[in-house]
Amino acid sequence: MQKHKLLINGAWVDPSTHAWFESVNPFTAQPWAMVPRAAKEDVDKAVAAAKAAFYSPAWRGMTASARGALLVKFADLVAQEAERLATIESTDNGKLLAEMRGQLNYIPQWFRYYGGLADKIEGRVIPIDKPGVFNFTREEPVGVVAAITPWNSPLMLATWKLAPALAAGCTIVWKPSEYSSVSAFAFGELFEKAGFPPGVVNIITGFGNEVGGPLIDHPDVAKIAFTGGDKTGEHVYQAAARGIKHVTLELGGKSANIVFDDATMDEAVKGVVSGIFAATGQTCIAGSRALIHRPIHDQFVEKLLTLAKTAKMGNPLEAATQVGPVTTRPQYEKVLDYIRIAKDEGAVCRLGGNPATRPECGAGWFVEPTIFTGVNPAMRIANEEVFGPVLSMIPFDDEEDAIRIANDTVFGLAAGVWTQSIRRALTMSERLEAGTVWVNTYRAVSYMSPFGGYKRSGIGRENGAEAIYEYLQTKSVWIDIAGNAPNPFVMR
Ligand code: NDP
């Protein structure tokens, strides 16, 4: 098993603890790599390196165009290595190779997009209302960014932070999830190969409380960019408040996928399946509540069951597999707990509802794709994020009812609407409290389109031109051009 190292100040180093932990392949349930167990001392070194790099002539003195070119060079390297990176991700977190391959082939676009944006961030000349003064603004990088990422799409979610942060001129200390750190090391090698100056990107691995905690509390971290669960997000937000740090939080959801009786039913059935069973339901945007117009409810359920039953479970590295294992043992247990809770609360289990013990699932942590009908919006299964292949089906009577149920959640990350009516599509997309609304599609994301949550789903936006401003701060510069000193005792 390969024993990995931390990337601090451009060097691959052992953790100060001289301790490693095993990364486990969720399909075989066997360890396959050794990940450094960093501690506060390593956090301090990494932040010091990032701070020094932030002020270094090599980085601070680099033109925005040259910085952009570095990002584009990195994009090309990722594109060349996409297959290898995808295989590492799939082995480490159990998501389908087909899905990870898609993500890895797409990730270079983020670096190209933000590389292109790097030298297009301009200040403004303000036609100021005071004679004899020239006023303009500059957009400046916030400083050292702590990027904390989860296990479900490790490189993709890191990219959403790293690409705009680097384009803005920030430096990074990145802590990937303890469950899916291995691809980060491969990414680190490519940052080096692209020629980023030492200390611009630092990678430290370990546990949330031992590494993430000291990192978010470090006084020299200016900004925290976090994706993960809402409880951890709360903790991160409190740390940001203590240190008055910039923060973006992407915290998951309980997204409603709403099907009206005028929808093209076969398309909507596929959309609901993709919303909840793709990626084994382990996505922040999972459409975990299917709201179905009452006149078509029963017919829709039958069609959905027919399609969902065909989902092929098995080795995520095999091309034919459609549903892989759950990534972590605790997550597997959490999903099964929620299934038990749903049954106890009286939801009707129409599909799955158990660990999957088919031979093709081997020793992996598999849960059968599970569908509950008779779900009452008050049930826990309809309110809490399961993060697994578990769908709650809820009937509704009309648009008003659909809006009421869909918005009756603490979350607000995404929503789907299936209808042929333009009026309905526009009305629903306006009234749904969610950062993303898909109409007649689901699970589409792009580097070009802003992404983020309403309510407890998060703060700030990733992707799109908006995201780079999350890593910039505005300075207002005033220059006297009149040359006559005004009365010093009066505000100018
Ligand atoms: P967490 O929110 O605990 O983990 C996300 C990241 O935060 C990981 O890198 C984690 O490190 C780190 N972290 C944990 N504790 C701290 C801390 N005290 N200070 C700083 N960083 C910390 O997610 P989990 O992996 O535990 O999953 C829990 C639930 O979160 C899931 O069941 C799911 O509901 C939700 N989730 C949502 C995601 C999304 O995309 N929005 C992604 C993943 C999970 P470490 O891994 O070492 O604990």
Indicate whether residue 146 lines ligand 1 (CB < 6 A): no
Q: From 232, 336, 409, 451, give the residue whose CB has the most ligand 1 atoms within 8 Å, as the site to mutate.
A: 232
> Does the pLDDT value for residue 40 go beyond 90?
yes
Give me the DSSP letters along 254-287.
Answer: --EEEE-TTS-HHHHHHHHHHHHTGGGG-STT--
Number of structural domains, the chain? 2
Determine if ligand 1 sits within 6 Å of the CB of residue 229.
yes
Mean pLDDT of 28-56: 97
pLDDT tops 90 at residue 362: no
The residue whose CA is least distant from atom 16 of ligand 1 is 208
**Best of 177, 247, 333 for a ligand 1 pocket test (most atoms within 8 Å of beta carbon):** 177
Residue 487 lies in a domain: no
Q: Is the CB of 178 under 6 A from ligand 1?
A: yes
Of these residues, 89, 99, 178, 250, which one is catalytic? 250
Is residue 272 predicted with pLDDT exceeding 90? yes
Does 172 share its domain with 275?
Answer: no
CATH code at position 19: 3.40.605.10
Residue whose Cα lies nearest atom 40 of ligand 1: it is 284
Please indicate whether residue 453, judged by its CB atom, sits closer than 6 Å to ligand 1: no
Asked if pLDDT for residue 445 goes beyond 90, the answer is yes
For residue 445, the CA-to-ligand 1 centroid distance in Å is 21
User: Are 235 and 288 in a shared domain?
Assistant: no
Residue 146, CA atoms < 13 Å, CB-side half-sphere: 32
* CA gap 226, 216 in Å, rounded: 10
- Percent with pLDDT over 70 in the chain: 100
Question: How is residue 467 annotated by DSSP?
Answer: H
- The closest residue, in CA terms, to atom 31 on ligand 1 is 229
Q: Do 188 and 260 reside in the same domain of the chain?
A: no
Ligand 1 atom nearest residue 176's Cα: 9
Report yes or no on 119 lying in a domain.
Answer: yes
Distance CA 419, CA 397 (A): 15
Q: Are residues 294 and 152 in the same domain?
A: no
Find out whether the beta carbon of 208 lies less than 6 Å from any atom of ligand 1. Answer: yes
Q: Is the CB of 152 under 6 A from ligand 1?
A: yes
Measure 51 CA to ligand 1 centroid, in angstroms.
Answer: 25
Boundaries of domain holding 157:
2-251+457-476
**Which residue's CA is the nearest one to ligand 1's atom 13?**
208
388 CB within 6 A, ligand 1: no
Whether 429 and 463 share a structural domain: no
- Of the pLDDT bands very low, low, confident and very high (cuts 50, 70, 90), residue 484 is confident
Which residue is listed with tokens 């925005």?
A: 64
Cβ(416) – ligand 1 distance below 6 Å: no
Point out the ligand 1 atom lying closest to the alpha carbon of residue 207: 47
pLDDT band per the 50, 70, 90 thresholds, residue 368: very high
3-class DSSP assignment, residue 173: strand
The answer to whether residue 311 sits within a structural domain is yes
CA–chain centroid gap for 412, Å, is: 14
Q: Hey, whose CA ends up nearest to atom 20 of ligand 1?
A: 212
Q: Which atom of ligand 1 lies nearest, measured to the CA of 250?
A: 41
Same domain, 270 and 241: no
Q: Which of 89, 170, 284, 361 is catalytic?
A: 284
| pLDDT value, residue 357 | 87
Per-residue pLDDT reduced to its tens digit, 2-35: 999 999 999 999 999 999 999 999 999 999 999 9
Report CA 205 to chain centroid distance, whole Å.
Answer: 18
pLDDT of residue 11: 98
286 alpha carbon – ligand 1 mean position (Å): 16
pLDDT, tens digit, 9 for 90 and up, residues 381-434: 999 999 999 999 999 999 999 999 999 999 999 999 999 999 999 999 999 999
Measuring CA to CA, how many Å separate 326 from each of 29, 61, 84, 154, 268? 11, 45, 22, 15, 25
Q: Does 330 lie in the same domain as 228? A: no
Per the domain annotation, does 449 fall within a domain?
no
- Spacing, Cα 150 to ligand 1 middle (Å): 5
CATH number, domain at 271? 3.40.309.10
Over residues 46-74, mean pLDDT: 98
CB of 326 within 6 A of ligand 1: the answer is no
Task: Verify whether ligand 1 is closer than 6 Å to residue 26 (CB atom).
Answer: no
Pairing of strands 133-141, 472-480: antiparallel
- pLDDT digits 0-9 by tens, 73-89: 999 999 999 999 999 99
- Told to judge if 250 belongs to the known catalytic residues of this protein, a careful annotator would answer yes
As a whole number, the mean pLDDT across the chain is 97
- Paired tokens of 353: 């509802």
The three state secondary structure string of 361-430 is: HCCCCCECCEEEECCCCCCHHHCCCCCCCEEEEEEECCHHHHHHHHHCCCCCCEEEEECCCHHHHHHHHH
Pair of tokens at residue 479: 């220059």
486 within domain boundaries = no
Q: How many CB atoms neighbour CB 380 within 10 A?
A: 14
170 catalytically annotated: no
User: Are residues 97 and 233 located together in one domain of the fold?
Assistant: yes
- Round to whole Å and give the CA distance between 461 and 474: 17
Task: List pLDDT tens digits, range 116-142.
Answer: 999 999 999 999 999 999 999 999 999
pLDDT interval class at 487 (50, 70, 90): confident
**pLDDT at position 124:** 97
Q: Tell me how far apart the alpha carbons of residues 437 and 152 are, in angstroms, rounded to a whole number.
A: 21
Q: What is the pLDDT of residue 36?
A: 98
Ordered alpha helix ranges (H), 195-260: 213-217, 230-243
What b/e sequence results for 178-211 when a residue is b if at least 16 CB atoms lie within 10 Å of its CB, and e otherwise?
A: bbbbbbbbbbbebbeebebbbbbbbbbbbebebb
Phi/psi at 347 (nearest 5 deg)? -70, 150
Q: From the CB of 227, is ligand 1 less than 6 Å away?
A: yes
Domain for residue 483, yes or no?
A: no
CA 484 to chain centre: 54
pLDDT for 203 beyond 90: yes
Instruction: Give the confidence band of 454 by pLDDT, cuts at 50, 70, 90.
Output: very high
How would residue 485 be classed by pLDDT, with cut points 50, 70 and 90? Answer: confident
Residue 232 has pLDDT above 90, yes or no: yes
Residue nearest to atom 8 of ligand 1 (CA): 177
pLDDT at 355 over 90: yes
HSE-CB of 61 using CA atoms within 13 angstroms: 5
- In angstroms, what is the span from residue 148 Cα to ligand 1's centroid? 9
β-pairing, 414-418 vs 256-259, is parallel
Q: Are residues 179 and 293 in the same domain?
A: no
pLDDT at 358: 87
User: 251 in ligand 1 pocket by Cβ < 6 Å?
Assistant: yes
- Confirm whether 415 is domain-assigned: yes
Q: Identify the residue with better confidence: 364 or 182.
A: 182
Confidence of residue 341 (pLDDT cuts 50, 70, 90): very high
Considering the domain architecture, whether residues 30 and 162 belong to the same structural domain is answered as yes
Q: How many alpha carbons lie under 13 Å from residue 401 in its C-beta half-sphere?
A: 12
Instruction: Please state the atom number of ligand 1 nearest to the C-alpha of residue 216.
Output: 20
CA 446 to chain CA centroid, Å, is 12
Q: Is 450 domain-assigned?
A: no
Mean pLDDT of 186-207: 98
Q: Are residues 159 and 122 in the same domain?
A: yes
- Judge residue 319's burial from the number of C-beta atoms within 10 Å of its C-beta, 0-12 exposed, 13-18 middle, 19 or more buried: exposed
**How far, in Å, from the CA of 229 to the mean position of ligand 1?**
5
Q: Is the CB of 240 under 6 A from ligand 1?
A: no
Dihedral angle computed from the Cα positions of residues 462, 467, 468 and 469, in that order, rounded to the nearest 10 degrees: -130
Q: Are residues 242 and 269 in the same domain?
A: no
